[in-house]
Structure 1
């Protein structure tokens, strides 16, 4: 089950160039959709957009799911920026909610984490205040089988509202202090 194929330490030139090319392609796609792009925040989803978005990663410091498609890596509750490890998750957005897929999962434009946007408040953001939703409305599968291209044990943290990995003896670092606290569904997220 582990988080495999990760990288750590300083990025190699090839990884940096590949990542820069991916970020550039994302900005071009957003511009083509008629939205404005910024380097420090995500952009709103085009009306009626449906599909999948890649570059969602596990942070080996805080255990949260974060977006790894910009030149910077957001704000990690464990300090500094998030640190990507493991699979490249490809998450569905703007599709119908079902009995095994929950909507209202959003990108936080301040910390780059995936958080639940279905309550009157928006949780606790490590960049300060509450999370700030931007972009697509993700519809994430839960309570289904794990496969070679789908990983279980992703959970909602009832303290900070972030999506975090619940498959280790510890539960990472929560923006509200201490470790994350799992609640609700067991999400099984698709990856490449």
Structure 2
């Protein structure tokens, strides 16, 4: 990815404030310390209208879409919001071990022994690293009762066949296209909640 975090984390902001020669008032320091977790997270994640998967759009490539073709094989973001993912260092609630795949640009779960099935690399699976020597790790909110704060879009799911994240809220054909077999994604577990840039 071009950058694991596009904005400085809250820890980095606090370190900058602590080292600044100017004294901040108590209210300004409190505002920095109590910022919402999403403010330090990474934007630029999009829903693909073809495969229903979640992919990172700010790398100058549309990655590899399992519903693409030889002429236009990348993800498409028509109709998508700009989603924000918390990185692990942001803290707060959520399930860790979600990874960005440097090959297909998609989001996949890396907490299982398998690397899933990547539309770019096939059965070799997703790769947890890209052109930079960093391994991404994100927190996703698993259900309504595990949110840091109200709001967000539900019906995001994990596909146990490809290990990818996809949106299951569209009808008909709401389950997208899985790269493993070309059919719809297979739902297991509950609904995840994603937030968008306001």
Q: Deviations over 1:68-87 (max 9, x none)?
A: 01111100001100001311
The aligned counterpart of 2:101 is: 108
Give the alignment partner of residue 191 of structure 1, picking from 183, 193, 196.
196
Choose 1 or 2 for highest CA Rg. 2
Give the alignment partner of residue 132 of structure 1, picking from 113, 127, 130.
127
Q: For 1:149 and 1:76, locate their aligned partners in 2 and report how far apart those are by CA, in whole Å.
A: 29
Please state whether the residue corresponding to 1:103 is helix, strand or coil: strand
Give the alignment partner of residue 175 of structure 1, picking from 173, 176, 179.
179
Aligned-pair CA distance for 1:97: 6.6
1:63 matches 2:52: yes
Q: Deviations over 1:31-83 (max 9, x none)?
A: xxxxxxxxxxxxxxxxxxx9300000000000000000111110000110000
Contact 1:149 1:191 in 2 (8 A): no
Aligned-pair CA distance for 1:104: 0.5
Q: For 1:185 and 1:97, locate their aligned partners in 2 and report how far apart those are by CA, in whole Å.
A: 19
Contact 1:111 1:125 in 2 (8 A): yes
Q: For 1:182 and 1:164, locate their aligned partners in 2 and report how far apart those are by CA, in whole Å.
A: 9
Aligned-pair CA distance for 1:184: 1.2
Aligned-pair CA distance for 1:157: 0.3
Contact 1:97 1:103 in 2 (8 A): no
Q: How many residues align?
A: 149
Give the CA RMSD over aligned residues.
2.9
Q: Deviations over 1:151-191 (max 9, x none)?
A: 10000001100000000232111011111011112101011
Please state whether the residue corresponding to 2:105 is helix, strand or coil: coil
The aligned counterpart of 1:7 is: none
Q: What is the TM-score when the length of structure 2 is the normalising length? A: 0.68
Name the structure where strand makes up a greater proportion of residues. Answer: 1
